[in-house]
Structure 1
Amino acid sequence: MQFTYNTDKRKLLSSLSHGAIFFSTTLFSIGVPIVINLLSDDPVVKSNAKESINFHFNVWFWATLIGIPLGILSWLTFGLGGILFFPVVALGFLLHWGLTIWALLHCFSQPDEPFRYPFIFRLF
């Protein structure tokens, strides 16, 4: 039995799942792909939502792993560590936002194929 899914709905839900990471400073951001994963019956949308959840965990993991030592170093050196490691932080944001924009473009241009972030660990 062949199922057909609404392409516009697929684009919208997939892009909402990936775009929620732009609000990653709030815990609300991971709620969007979780709810979409629970409510959607479209396999591509579910796959994109799971990938977004995994990307959230990766962003939070690496931000914690890198951010805490940089914060301590910056505090110990009266701000000098923060200035010296600004390129590391900037690269992190560039990767975070760049990969998200890549995922969004993929969702709009190839809605029938789930997006997979490169170089991330997947829990789901």
Structure 2
Amino acid sequence: MISQDPTKRKLLSAVSHGSIFFSATLLAVGIPIAILLVSDDPIVKENAKEALNFHLNIWLYGIIFAILIIVLIGYVLLGILGLVSLIMPIIAILQILGDANKVYRYPFIFRVL
């Protein structure tokens, strides 16, 4: 059964992308995973996968940039990463709220899922 309710689609997709604002722990990743497992809507599932990929990329880049603190460039890169992790989900949420039938794709990330 595929959900065609645009309000539900917008809400679940926006919550998936906005989950990064809840915390940097497993709770933030658990929300898109739960939505991925519970929803029957293919667009919501794709948005949840994209949100998970973004989380994984932010964690990976954070680890790499933290290691680069040794050569002092890591401080700048972590600052940029912090801004990106705030701005990109907001853009994703706005795009989803504008068009419920769209899957938002984050630029410059590795898609694991």
Name the TM-score, length of structure 1 as normaliser. Answer: 0.82
Provide the residue aligned with 1:96 in structure 2.
85
Provide the residue aligned with 2:19 in structure 1.
20
Moved over 4 A (4+): none
- Does residue 10 (structure 1) correspond to residue 9 (structure 2)? The answer is yes
Q: Tell me the number of residue pairs that the alignment of Structure 1 and Structure 2 aligns.
A: 112
Secondary structure of 2:57's match?
helix
Within 5 Å, give how 1:53-68 maps onto structure 2.
Answer: 53-68=52-67
- Distance in 1, matches of 2:74 and 2:45, equals 37
List alignment gaps of at least 5 residues for structure 1.
Answer: 75-80
Please, what is the CA RMSD of the aligned residues?
A: 1.8
Cα shift at 1:19: 0.4
Q: Tell me, yes or no, if the aligned pair for 2:3 and 2:40 is still in contact at 8 Å.
A: no
Q: Percent identity?
A: 42
Max radius of gyration: which structure? 1
Secondary structure of 2:54's match?
helix
Secondary structure of 1:54's match?
helix
Cα shift at 1:97: 1.0
- Distance in 2, matches of 1:16 and 1:112, equals 15
* Alignment deviations for residues 18-53 of structure 1 (CA, whole Å, 9 cap, x no partner): 001113421110000001000000111000000001
Name the TM-score, length of structure 2 as normaliser. Answer: 0.90
List alignment gaps of at least 5 residues for structure 2.
Answer: none
